[in-house]
Amino acid sequence: MLYALFDALKPYDLPGAGLFSYLTFRAALAILLSLTISLAFGGRLINVLRKLQVGESIRDLGLEGQLSKAGTPTMGGLIILAAIVVPVLLVADLSNVYIQLLLITTLWMGAIGFADDYIKVFRKNKQGLRGIFKVIGQVSLGALVAAVLAFHPDVTMKEEVAASDIEVLYGEASTGRPSFGPAEQHLRTTIPLVKDSTFDYADLVFWSDSKEEWAWLVFLVVVVFIITAVSNGANLTDGLDGLAGGTSAIIAFTLAILAYVSGSVVFASYLDIMYIPMSGEMIVFAAAFLGAAIGFLWYNTYPAQVFMGDTGSLSIGAIIAVFALVIRKELLIPILAGVFLVENLSVLLQVGYFKFTKKKYGEGRRIFLMSPLHHHFQKKGLHESKIVTRFWISGIFLAILTLITLKLR
């Protein structure tokens, strides 16, 4: 809104109006607005939730300090949603298709998570929203995202068509200017750690010679799987104070860097990655996401004053998934969101091994003391603040590794 307003005022040369044309200024403003909303709105929301007695009911799992959390307000994900949506509406270019898609993703999954939390808290149904409705919501969002990325005319990419050099950059000398071909619509993605290599989803079409015509169907399956996996991984990670929020902040910062290099002709050429026109605007969204995650930690670090709930965890997982898909870095998700992946795998392995051993030996056996993985470390006697800090450190390591893959080819 403010972006459109100041863009309209450009011809009048008003002092300061030109600042909104700078992406870095709007990204910085988005972080400040997001933090301000989180800190100002968060405390008031917590008080409202306490008055409504929107407290978390705790099932005794024998974990240290677990029962002391009973009654802590949940549905704190509303803080995250407000701190993302409001700054983006104010300072982002709302005509950008990627911003529109990310806003829809945020509100869509936020609504599903809110319905789940509402049923748990107000209907006193611990099961929450039925699984089938969650699946329908995730599949529907995946179908929408896949359709937009496959068919929207503004969703394009450019690849470098000739060897070209740029000026000395980070100690590596070269000359000339980057040269990219025309904007094209392709369902391709970047393969990490492989030089001059992209993967075309059309190559997975084996039932028809018209591969390009059916590539969208393969892409649809991939998109639905990624959104479901990452959103569920974020949901499982939200089990300790500050764990999901801190991990998401690290990922948001990394996604902002990836969006910047993907939307820059110079950096896309230097790093030998796809140049995606208009993707630079996503830095504003990533900045708001980063500010929301950090602001939420003000209330969510140990001992938590409020829990994120499915309202927040499902939405941040979907945001991360869609963001990576848009900038064609979905193959980096296992590294970037490695914490979510490990949490997911720990549950799958635990359940699978238990069922297998029960069928084979008549008695179920476990790989971990408890799943998800963070509960395993709690069972081993580690304090949750130490577990969270170590997971954050692991997340930072994975984020750095993700950025290294851009040049490590």
Tell me which residue range forms the domain holding 279: 2-57+66-333
pTM of the entire structure? 0.90
Task: Examine residue 105 and state whether it is found in any structural domain, yes or no.
Answer: yes
Task: Examine residue 100 and state whether it is found in any structural domain, yes or no.
Answer: yes
Angle, helix 77-91 to helix 282-300, in steps of 10 degrees: 150
Task: Examine residue 368 and state whether it is found in any structural domain, yes or no.
Answer: no
Task: Examine residue 390 and state whether it is found in any structural domain, yes or no.
Answer: no
Residue whose token pair is 């390009």: 212
d(CA 324, CA 384): 30
Query: What is the token pair recorded at 85?
Result: 């949506």
Task: Examine residue 398 and state whether it is found in any structural domain, yes or no.
Answer: no
Number of domains in the chain: 1
Sign of the alpha-carbon torsion through 42, 44, 49, 50: positive
Task: Examine residue 400 and state whether it is found in any structural domain, yes or no.
Answer: no
Task: Examine residue 235 and state whether it is found in any structural domain, yes or no.
Answer: yes
Residues of the chain under the 70 pLDDT cut = 1, 3, 5-11, 13-17, 53-70, 160-179, 196, 409
pLDDT of residue 59: 59
Task: Examine residue 379 and state whether it is found in any structural domain, yes or no.
Answer: no
Q: Beta-carbon neighbour count of residue 136 at 10 Å?
A: 12
Query: What is the token pair recorded at 310?
Result: 């499915």
**148-179 confidence digits (pLDDT tens):** 999 999 998 877 665 444 444 334 444 455 66
